[in-house]
Structure 1
């Protein structure tokens, strides 16, 4: 079942010019090749923060759409919030895509419930836009996904069936999966996730143990800051150097 505000979505695979994009569960590194400092985890496709004291029935998050720059070949990045996927194969999520393909930067919005690929939201997205998102369990297996572009002035809502356990909640900068393979992360510069809440507006109380770094080809390619002073937000930057935390 689905209801929509601000335009019906189309599947990313609906155009032959677009690759099949999936936002996969966290892919653990069997042999982490870099010290990850005080962070609690590392991954080949995720960086950011995740909390695992579920069950979680609600998550909210806000982020700034980052600006991508050219790399070697096609590169991809996604910013999103979601429930599940940290230690299981379920995942409900919504976010933005920031890719560099065909010689230019490409930006879009989407929602997804695995095992399906992303569903593109046909609304404008630009670097620097403020995004507000929420995913809420309405009961009886129905969840409401809402994504709002505050800068562009549109809101999208869909109601979907989801039966995952709600074991984790996360705020992630990801290298998505393209045609079954983890993409090379785009150089997205730096962005901010702030604030985030869980379960009716509760503070997620981030600690650095909840944070994780992304490692690709033995290089640390995405690194979050320590949590901000009120423990509900963080910055995340391309490369191995942790940025400063947001002011609050």
Structure 2
């Protein structure tokens, strides 16, 4: 698969930001190693005032503060790179799928999909596995990623085992109550809301008026439905995108040594019966979003839309999958 060529000036900006991101990763790795070594010495000391222990404690604090600033800078740089890449086509570092745009904003979105099964990713050197993550979701968001209301399922390979669950999330800079901006796992009390590979999921997010929205996600295979009203403050600007996405969540800021992000090997997933404001979205191939790694290689790729325009498939890797049947 060949990516569209960017203007040389844009390429230069991207390369500069990628270089800085690589520098940040190197500094983060060095700081983490120093923190771990210093922490071991602190833990072995008879008390926090022994010898040079106070200096080590202060060093740990300084490096942790520096890492927080570096991670924030890296996050901003990744957003800037995504925005630059969008001028050459729609390529993003964490999302793949389709997104519809409306200057009037959207008031509802819905779709169905089957939960993908993930495979373990071998650790460098072939000993053990690494933790990898993936999420399938629908949502309504703004153009900058500052506001979003979404619900979906996660398929992770974490702590050497598969992990599947449902969730909803709201991030809203217009809401004065920070507790309203959070990710919430769907309760699974007494296994009432289990999620397993190949389960058929259905999700709907709809505006009910006065900044109140309804989030509903159902597991048709396990026969359960979760629904909750939520506040999501804003206007057409932060409701201008309807997103149907496979994502690598920002669980771990560190990429793999080969530059790939910690995306779980999820195989493929098909979005069907997609609706925006109760209507067929009529997806267009130009609206497809390809997920790329730190070297701008595709790692999660959507198909062309189905012939009826309300579905598509996203596949792990760089190969473009076939469109699903109508």
**TM-score class, shorter:** 0.7 to 0.9
- 1:88 to partner: Cα distance: 4.0
Give a deviation string over 1:73-105, Cα, whole Å, max 9, x none. Answer: 110000000001443410000000000011111
Runs of 4+ in 1 over 2 A off after TM superposition: 26-32, 85-88, 179-183
Q: Secondary structure at the match of 1:193?
A: strand
Asked which structure has the greater RCO (Cα within 8 Å, sep 6+), the reply is 1
**What residue number does 2:267 align with?**
189
Structure 1 residues not aligned, in runs of 5+: 1-23
TM-score by length of 1: 0.82
Instruction: Give me the whole-angstrom Cα distance separating, in 1, the residues matched to 2:283 and 2:83.
Output: 25
Structure 2 residues not aligned, in runs of 5+: 1-74, 124-129, 173-180, 256-260
Q: Secondary structure at the match of 1:209?
A: helix
Please say if 1:49 is aligned against 2:74: no
Instruction: Report if the CA contact (8 A) 1:52-1:169 is conserved.
Output: yes
**What residue number does 1:207 align with?**
284
Instruction: Report if the CA contact (8 A) 1:224-1:243 is conserved.
Output: yes
Instruction: Give me the whole-angstrom Cα distance separating, in 1, the residues matched to 2:311 and 2:132.
Output: 26
Instruction: Give me the whole-angstrom Cα distance separating, in 2, the residues matched to 1:93 and 1:129.
Output: 19
Q: 1:209 to 1:63 in 2, by over 3 A?
A: same
Instruction: Report if the CA contact (8 A) 2:108-2:205 is conserved.
Output: yes
Instruction: Give me the whole-angstrom Cα distance separating, in 1, the residues matched to 2:204 and 2:213.
Output: 10
TM-score by length of 2: 0.63
Q: Which structure has more strand as a fraction of its residues?
A: 1
Q: Which structure has the larger Rg?
A: 2
- 1:117 to partner: Cα distance: 3.6
Q: CA RMSD in A?
A: 2.0
Instruction: Report if the CA contact (8 A) 1:84-1:91 is conserved.
Output: yes
Alignment of 1:130-145 (within 5 A): 130-145=200-215
Instruction: Report if the CA contact (8 A) 1:50-1:86 is conserved.
Output: no
- 1:114 to partner: Cα distance: 1.0
